[in-house]
């Protein structure tokens, strides 16, 4: 050992000396018990798991059971309700309209909200009023939106007044195929601002060093967007896609308030059909249709997430 270096102190028991005892009156600190594995997290999750079981999983299990029974839930029918649902012409029409609505709305909403996010981000630091204005439709009550819809697209509404002033013929927007595009416009108008905020959060998470390095190598704006921005927005794209898909089933409120339980056939969605079956207490077919919709929606979300994961890899 070099001179001047201090020897490390050894415990008293190793040196052969007596082990010091704790002074009387001073509490001895014991090590805190540690939970093994994830047992500690389970205790904190129990309240949420209990609420999920009581209010979500339990009712869904009851719905699955009722889908195999009659309307009163007493007589077992097997797959008769599912056969009746699949053979029902109203169900096929509503399912086709819903699928058409989703296929048209999702690409338009994803692309349009991303474009808005890019424009708002390019306009910083003066973009705060634009963000607030795009979020205003979400703050409006559904009844107010329905009144606005009637004011614009009624037989003597503002849209027809403008068409008449331009020399055109009035259009029955809610009584013709134009009702489908009015519903799409309402959905895009209401949800674009929310998706824009999600895209902005994803854009803020892209490291600026990637753009600086790409510009030093001679990359242009389009190459930076295609090679850097889009790949980095993969997780955000998955989140926005799933939320937009789920929000497609919330447009029923506006359509119901304006056009009633039996609107034009172009906007007769699954929500209208479920509402009518519930009004007639046809709970067997309603439960079977709800199970089919849940399976289709869950499968669609899983396929969407898997495709996004593969593209990200």
Q: What is the pLDDT of residue 100?
A: 92
For the ranges 126-135, 204-213, 230-239, the lowest mean pLDDT is seen at 126-135
* pLDDT single digits (tens) 21-51: 555 555 555 555 554 556 777 888 888 989 9
Measured CA distances, 91 to 82, 173, 195 (Å) = 11, 24, 30
* pLDDT single digits (tens) 229-280: 888 888 888 889 888 988 888 888 878 877 777 888 888 999 899 999 988 8
Q: What is the pLDDT of residue 142?
A: 77
The yes-or-no verdict on residue 13 having pLDDT over 50 is no
Measured CA distances, 204 to 111, 123, 171, 173, 201 (Å) = 18, 14, 44, 41, 5
Q: Are 257 and 171 in contact (CB under 8 A)?
A: no
Which has more pLDDT, 121 or 86?
A: 86
* Averaged pLDDT, 97-116: 92
Q: What is the pLDDT of residue 17?
A: 52
Q: What is the pLDDT of residue 289?
A: 92
pLDDT band at 287 (very low <50, low <70, confident <90, very high): very high
Q: What is the pLDDT of residue 186?
A: 85
Q: What is the pLDDT of residue 3?
A: 52
The yes-or-no verdict on residue 97 having pLDDT over 70 is yes
Tell me the CA end-to-end span of the chain in Å, nearest whole number.
56
Radius of gyration of the chain (CA): 30
Measured CA distances, 95 to 175, 188, 292 (Å) = 20, 21, 11
User: 10 Å Cβ neighbour count for 103?
Assistant: 10
| Alpha helices by DSSP H, the chain | 12-15, 39-52, 58-66, 80-87, 89-122, 128-139, 142-153, 158-165, 178-204, 208-216, 221-224, 230-232, 234-247, 252-259, 270-279, 283-312
Q: What is the pLDDT of residue 234?
A: 83
Joined tokens for residue 157? 């509404």
Backbone φ and ψ for 125, nearest 5 degrees, come out as: -95, 15
Q: What is the pLDDT of residue 45?
A: 86
pLDDT band at 68 (very low <50, low <70, confident <90, very high): very high
pLDDT band at 109 (very low <50, low <70, confident <90, very high): very high
Q: What is the pLDDT of residue 27?
A: 54
Q: What is the pLDDT of residue 93?
A: 92
The mean of the pLDDT values for the chain is 81
* Averaged pLDDT, 53-72: 89
pLDDT band at 61 (very low <50, low <70, confident <90, very high): very high
Q: Are 268 and 93 in contact (CB under 8 A)?
A: yes
- Residue where the block lists tokens 């415990």: 11
The yes-or-no verdict on residue 122 having pLDDT over 60 is yes
The yes-or-no verdict on residue 209 having pLDDT over 50 is yes
The yes-or-no verdict on residue 79 having pLDDT over 50 is yes
Mutual orientation of helices 89-122 and 234-247 as an angle, nearest 10°?
140
Mutual orientation of helices 283-312 and 58-66 as an angle, nearest 10°?
120
Q: What is the pLDDT of residue 26?
A: 53
CB-based contacts of 197, cutoff 8 Å, min separation 6: 131, 135
Q: What is the pLDDT of residue 291?
A: 93
Note the Cα 186 to chain centre separation in Å: 18
Residue among 98, 190, 193 at smallest CA distance from 144 = 190
The yes-or-no verdict on residue 7 having pLDDT over 60 is no
């Amino acid at each position: 050992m070099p001179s001047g270096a201090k020897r490390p102190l050894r415990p008293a028991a190793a040196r052969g000396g007596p082990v010091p005892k704790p002074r009387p009156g001073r509490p001895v600190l014991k090590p805190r018990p540690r939970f093994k594995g994830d047992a500690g997290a389970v205790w904190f999750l129990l309240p949420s798991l209990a609420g999920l079981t009581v209010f979500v999983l339990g009712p869904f299990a009851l719905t699955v059971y009722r889908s195999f029974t009659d309307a009163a839930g007493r007589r077992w029918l097997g797959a008769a309700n599912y056969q009746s649902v699949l053979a029902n012409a109203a169900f096929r029409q509503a399912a086709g309209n819903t699928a058409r609505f989703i296929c048209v709305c999702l690409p338009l909403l994803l692309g349009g909200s991303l474009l808005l996010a890019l424009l708002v981000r390019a306009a910083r630091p003066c973009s705060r009023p634009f963000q607030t204005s795009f979020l205003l439709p979400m703050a409006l009550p559904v009844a107010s939106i329905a009144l606005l819809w009637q004011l614009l697209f009624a037989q003597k509404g503002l849209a027809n007044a403008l068409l008449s002033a331009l020399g055109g013929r009035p259009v029955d927007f809610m009584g013709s195929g134009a009702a489908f595009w009015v519903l799409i416009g309402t959905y895009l108008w209401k949800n674009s601002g929310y998706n824009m905020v999600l895209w902005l959060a994803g854009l803020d998470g892209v490291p600026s060093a990637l753009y600086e390095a790409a510009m030093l190598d001679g990359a242009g704006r389009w190459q930076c967007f295609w090679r850097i921005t889009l790949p980095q927005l993969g997780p955000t794209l998955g989140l926005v896609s799933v939320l937009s898909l789920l929000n497609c089933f919330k447009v029923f409120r506006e359509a119901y308030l304006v056009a009633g339980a039996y609107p034009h056939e172009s906007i007769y969605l699954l929500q209208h059909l479920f509402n009518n079956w519930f009004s007639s207490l046809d709970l067997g077919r309603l439960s079977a249709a709800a199970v089919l919709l849940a399976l289709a929606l869950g499968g669609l979300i899983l396929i969407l997430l898997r495709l996004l994961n593969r593209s990200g890899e």
